[in-house]
Amino acid sequence: MNYSKKPLIGIIMGSSSDSRIMKGAAEVLDEFKIKHEDQIVSAHRTPTRLEEYAQHAEKSGFKVIIAGAGGAAHLPGMIASHTTIPVIGVPILVYNDKQAKKTDNTKFSAFGGLDSLLSITEMPTGSPVVSVGVNKAGNAGIYAMKVLANEFPDLKKKLKQHKSNQHNSVLKESEEMKKQGLSKFVSKKFK
């Protein structure tokens, strides 16, 4: 079994509008050449499809499911209730831009994603879902890679190199800031 040939990670979301956030997970997995399968599965609008997806994920040999949802965010918990595959929930800040008029400035959920975060993290005992921060799909991708790395030593090496690259990047930026001074650094970095 090879993680770059056969999808071992499923990425699901409750709505197409969630795709702009969930692409963060796909981008991380793509960077490391980890094949994934992406679908829209709504806990509320397609409940039978949700159960079918859980069966499909098990038959396909998925090792992790990344599930993103906003608002009540039932998708991660519901998919977890139908499978033994670990589920990583991505709470999504709901954007109301499908119905919003161009003059309407209220495009975000009244709860700022906290509703989704609490829904995912407050699963009842016995039916856990791991959660990342609001809109942090990239972190879900990295966490899914860590799960796979337990089985694939070469992926573990890639993750260690990724951590080393992050470390070196911070040191490089710190040195630039030290040389330029804070004001110049900020004006160049964040134009």
Could you tell me the two tokens for 70?
């906003």
Q: What are phi and psi of 68, to 5 degrees?
A: -110, 140
Condensed to tens digits (0 to 9), the pLDDT of residues 37-47 reads: 999 999 999 99
What does the pLDDT read at residue 113? Answer: 85
Could you tell me the two tokens for 72?
């009540």
Identify how many contiguous H helices and E strands the chain contains and give both numbers: 7, 5
Condensed to tens digits (0 to 9), the pLDDT of residues 88-116 reads: 999 999 765 555 455 555 456 668 888 89
List CB contacts of 177: < 8 A, sequence separation 6 or more: 185
The arrangement of strands across the sheet holding 87-92 comes to 36-40, 9-13, 64-70, 87-92, 130-131
| Helix-helix angle 153-180:137-149, to 10 degrees | 140
Report the chain (191 residues): mean pLDDT per 10 consecutive residues: 92 94 97 97 94 97 96 93 97 68 56 88 90 97 97 95 96 95 91 77
Which 3 state secondary structure label does DSSP give 37?
Answer: strand
Could you tell me the two tokens for 172?
């490089």
What does the pLDDT read at residue 109? Answer: 66
